[in-house]
Structure 1
Amino acid sequence: MLNVVPSSSLYRSIGGIFLFLSSGGGGGQNGGGAAAVAVAFTAVAGIAVFAAIAYTRSGHLKSPWSRKKRKHALTLRQWRNSFTPDGKLHDGGIKLLKKVRSGGIDPSIRSEVWPFLLGVYDLKSTKEERDVIRNKNRKEYEKLRRQSRRLLKQTDENSRLNSNGSSESPYSEPSSPASEDVVSARESLSSEKGSSDLEFSENQSSSVLDRSSSSRRVTSSSPSVICSDSSDMGSSEDEQFDEASSPLSDEENDVDVASKGDLSPPKTNPQSNVCRTEDFASWQRIIRLDAVRANAEWTPYSPSQAAVSEDRACRSAEAVGLKDYDHLEPCRIYHAARLVAILEAYAIYDSEIGYCQGMSDLLSPIISVIEEDHMAFWCFVGFMKKARHNFRLDEVGIRRQLNTVAKIIKHKDSHLYKHLVKLQAEDCFFVYRMVVVLFRRELNFEQTLCLWEVMWADQAALRAGVGKSAWRVIRQRAPPTEDLLLYAIAASVLQRRKQIIEKYSSMDEILRECNNMAGHLDIWKLLDGAHDLVMTLHDKVATT
């Protein structure tokens, strides 16, 4: 019989701990020794498997998010059961936010839940309060649309007058290289290129990275003409136009829509009701260019809008003055018209930002889910409260975010960060595109919605006053953060640390790697990595 162990004892080491198993001597007892080895081997294998599951490649315990992944999105039944008889969310919506943060939202109820996440509705509001503010905000949106039509009419008249006496329009700015750069070099990130919506040329990436601040938003050097909200806004002519201008059907006038969650009028900018006509003319031109370029990736997620009739689509386009859309299918014409209507209203609402290319990429998923323009507008306003900093002329907001990504990488992986320093890429400019349009190009449509709504849930939790101490009542749960997107971006880079360190010797190569992430990211694995980083680094990043 085979002697498996010496007659004294059997020992093994697991993580530096030695376990001793007695095995006496003699032929008959060797069988007991073999059994002991079998038991020991099974134990070792079990512990090894447990260790592999319990630890990430970086050596840290995985967060609870990886165990939940997307297995349990918020369902319709759970959503309906979240309200008290008077229409308030139970416990101020905290359980709801936790559910969304860990699993996202079922597509069938996104249009109902998003207004709460985006601050359109206050988490503690009653149904009666929401109804009052909803109607108030509907009127506010309609007023912005009337003002937009007045400005459109005025710029058209100015163009006609100018064309009679000159070959140039005062708003075309043909001599400005920067303004041409906006249209040609920084093409909308959502436009169709090649055979795939996710394709992104290196030349376009370079133009996005290299463009100057002056090309972010076009303004004219001519004297400004102030257009403000006036008492004649409610003229009969405007009211008649208002009926015809809505891209939505007549019966939608009876549909309840969203309102501001803080139950007060929006105040993004103290001068939000004042704009320069020459600025607005430029915004209108670029908005229309971006709108007709928008791709059709959204159509499977919005069957009713995808099936819109050609007649309705064309009426919607005419109502907002959209032209050059003959090459588009009805659903894309309709989508473009809605983009124009809402983006023009936003440009007036927040005239400090106005419109910059890339904003249409953020709005497109929202209008695909939310079918009422006024509801979609206020959700977009809520979204832009943070995202607007991505479109500032001075780019301060972008640079702050790039700096935060750099700090996360530095604290998490000093070896990778030193490699970036060596390549003069420590400013993390290679993730510029991810920051500007919030991962929109790297993720498909459904993945984008999942990431955004988890991110919005974090921001809603902070608005509701849910801090780290309250959230950590649940063991090992990452606290909400305003910068979840940045932690996700850092996680996507850290997942590729090996390639970056071993294969890449220039910032251009890293940029190419980041662009090639498109279509190859697991959103829930990415969120798991982001939450791991939040758990371990949030305090350190915030204080450095």
Structure 2
Amino acid sequence: MWRDPGQPADSYYQVRPECTDVPKSKFKIKAGRTLSSRKWQAAFTPEGYLDISKTLSRIYRGGIHPSIRGEVWEFLLGCYDPKSTFDERDQIRQRRRVQYVRWKEECRQIFPVVGSGKFITAPVITEDGQPIQEPLVILETNQDRGPSQDGNSAEIGSSHAYATNQSRTNASCSEMVKELTSHGPLDHKVIQWMLTLHQIGLDVHRTDRTLVFYEKQENLSKLWDILAVYAWIDTDVGYCQGMSDLCSPMIMLLEDEADAFWCFERLMRRLRGNFRCTGRTVGVETQLSNLAEITQVIDPKLHQHLDALGGGDYLFAFRMLMVLFRREFSFCDSLYLWEMMWALEYDPDLFSVYEELELNGEKHEGSKGRVKSIRHYGKFERENMKNGAANSEGPLPMSVFLVASVLKDKSSKLLHEARGLDDVVRILNDMTGNLDAKKACSGAMKLHRKYLKKAKKA
């Protein structure tokens, strides 16, 4: 029987020609397996109701075609209810776009660089709310900035013009802050928000810099704007390093900035607990503790070895959980991994839970409601329901089992070659770009079932 060998998906995410060491994607677009535009459109009724169970099955079989990835993600992340009509979704979309514009305008009124098509990388305010005016502080983070405003970094004249414009931007930023502080002491929320803006700019400039898409200043500034607005509305978490890695794909997949923002906001509903700091702890430490527990159950010998090396806290897996394997997979493969994971974790009640919290002005993560038809859930969620894994804190996320699966796969190498934590880090770093997303998800599902059975017996 003839099988489609598949079309490489890398061409949809063009890499800058000078970046020759970027790992190639293992994900291939395969006819009959990958969710195509035609299959996606056919999954809707004339009114707009989506057959979510068939869609989830198709995604797990072969991922999503890059041309429709953004709109499918909106459903996977709970932006829309599959049982809504086209008209209902249009109304929600317009309402959210208006809300985003309102929030962005609030930010612009405080700091006019927001929405200007530019962004900053130098601090413009001190912790006590005073403007920073020293030229060195303004200029030092703008040296060797990279792509010019028109995206052509090869032209010296253009690069010089870009650096000059950015310097003027930061100089004018200082004037804006002086004007702002001239009316009296700044509000604590405003100070905390403004302190994050240059860090967002630094991270934006480093994010996915191998991609042609981010040679354009407008795309960099769009990413900065979204992260700045999110930091303004989520005062509990604000902005933390790693968020730019999670938001970047949304900018590329969804043309409208507001739609990209809401897709990112829904993803943060799942992950914001990882970024929340309380005292001396970071939220992701809970998942690291869960990872240690899972590894101890499914591979006690490996856990004992890691513990003996001083890695019993599993901090070496910190980055994998924080940015969902963005560093361990190629760009294209990380998107493939995400959508398979979200399809497996899919809970049809997420939209109503998020919508209710949004209307009440609340933020929450891990809240799970229940509907009657189990076939509308992803396979991972079905296992949780069957085994009664849900508790007051919610079931463990699939990302923890993905990391456990990777460790299990590298167990022999870790046991025989790791003589210290540096070796553990080296072995795990060596797999960058060489992991198979489909295999990782399959392995995570097997470990999940095994863990649930052992936990149930215990």
* 3-state SS of 1:479 partner: helix
Q: What does residue 428 of structure 1 align with?
A: 314
Q: What does residue 77 of structure 1 align with?
A: 38
RMSD, aligned CA: 3.5
Structure 1 contact 407–541 (Cα < 8 Å) conserved:
no
TM-score (norm 1): 0.57
Deviations 1:27-55 (A, max 9, x none): xxxxxxxxxxxxxxxxxxxxxxxxxxxxx
Q: What does residue 170 of structure 1 align with?
A: 130
Q: What does residue 295 of structure 1 align with?
A: 208
Structure 2 contact 402–441 (Cα < 8 Å) conserved:
yes
Alignment equivalent of 2:442, drawn from 528, 531, 534? 528
Deviations 1:234-275 (A, max 9, x none): xxxxxxxxxxxxxxxxxxxxxxxxxxxxxxxxxxxxxxxxx7
Q: What does residue 499 of structure 1 align with?
A: 413
* 3-state SS of 2:347 partner: helix
Superposed displacement of residue 146, structure 1: 0.2
Alignment equivalent of 2:58, drawn from 99, 104, 111? 99
Q: What does residue 281 of structure 1 align with?
A: 194
User: Which residue type is aligned with residue 84 of structure 1?
Assistant: T
Where does the alignment leave 5 or more consecutive residues of structure 1 unmatched? 1-67, 156-162, 175-182, 184-222, 227-274, 300-305, 307-329
Q: Give the Cα–Cα distance (whole angstroms) in 1 for the partners of residues 322 and 453 of structure 2.
A: 24
How do 1:446-485 residues align onto structure 2 when only pairs under 5 Å count? 446-461=332-347, 463=349, 470=374, 479=383, 483-485=397-399
Alignment equivalent of 1:150, drawn from 109, 113, 122? 109
Q: What does residue 242 of structure 1 align with?
A: none
Q: What does residue 488 of structure 1 align with?
A: 402
User: Which residue type is aligned with residue 196 of structure 2?
Assistant: W
User: Which residue type is aligned with residue 413 of structure 1?
Assistant: D
Superposed displacement of residue 287, structure 1: 1.1
User: Which residue type is aligned with residue 170 of structure 1?
Assistant: Q
Q: Give the Cα–Cα distance (whole angstroms) in 1 for the partners of residues 373 and 417 of structure 2.
A: 42
* 1:408 and 2:294 correspond: yes
* 1:392 and 2:306 correspond: no
Q: 1:153 to 1:225 in 2, by over 3 A?
A: same
Superposed displacement of residue 475, structure 1: 11
Q: 1:476 to 1:363 in 2, by over 3 A?
A: closer
Superposed displacement of residue 539, structure 1: 5.1
Q: Give the Cα–Cα distance (whole angstroms) in 2 for the partners of residues 148 and 474 of structure 1.
A: 38
Q: 1:513 to 1:489 in 2, by over 3 A?
A: same
How do 1:117-516 residues align onto structure 2 when only pairs under 5 Å count? 117-153=76-112, 170=130, 225-226=186-187, 276-299=189-212, 306=213, 331-394=215-278, 395-461=281-347, 463=349, 470=374, 479=383, 483-516=397-430
Structure 2 contact 75–82 (Cα < 8 Å) conserved:
yes
Superposed displacement of residue 354, structure 1: 1.0
* 1:87 and 2:48 correspond: yes
Q: 1:342 to 1:351 in 2, by over 3 A?
A: same
Deviations 1:9-41 (A, max 9, x none): xxxxxxxxxxxxxxxxxxxxxxxxxxxxxxxxx
Structure 1 contact 294–336 (Cα < 8 Å) conserved:
no
Superposed displacement of residue 295, structure 1: 3.0
Q: What does residue 322 of structure 1 align with?
A: none
Structure 2 contact 34–59 (Cα < 8 Å) conserved:
yes
Q: 1:278 to 1:109 in 2, by over 3 A?
A: same
Structure 2 contact 33–62 (Cα < 8 Å) conserved:
yes
* 3-state SS of 2:431 partner: coil
Q: Give the Cα–Cα distance (whole angstroms) in 2 for the partners of residues 472 and 382 of structure 1.
A: 19
Q: Which range is displaced more, 362-371 or 463-472? A: 463-472
User: Which residue type is aligned with residue 342 of structure 1?
Assistant: I
Q: Give the Cα–Cα distance (whole angstroms) in 2 for the partners of residues 423 and 172 of structure 1.
A: 45
Q: 1:147 to 1:522 in 2, by over 3 A?
A: same
Structure 1 contact 471–477 (Cα < 8 Å) conserved:
no
Deviations 1:493-519 (A, max 9, x none): 111111111111212221222222211
* 3-state SS of 1:499 partner: helix
Q: Give the Cα–Cα distance (whole angstroms) in 1 for the partners of residues 93 and 453 of structure 2.
A: 38
Q: 1:376 to 1:469 in 2, by over 3 A?
A: closer
Q: 1:467 to 1:132 in 2, by over 3 A?
A: closer
Q: Give the Cα–Cα distance (whole angstroms) in 2 for the partners of residues 171 and 150 of structure 1.
A: 17
Q: Which has the larger radius of gyration?
A: 1
Q: 1:521 to 1:356 in 2, by over 3 A?
A: same
Superposed displacement of residue 399, structure 1: 1.0
Q: 1:400 to 1:542 in 2, by over 3 A?
A: farther
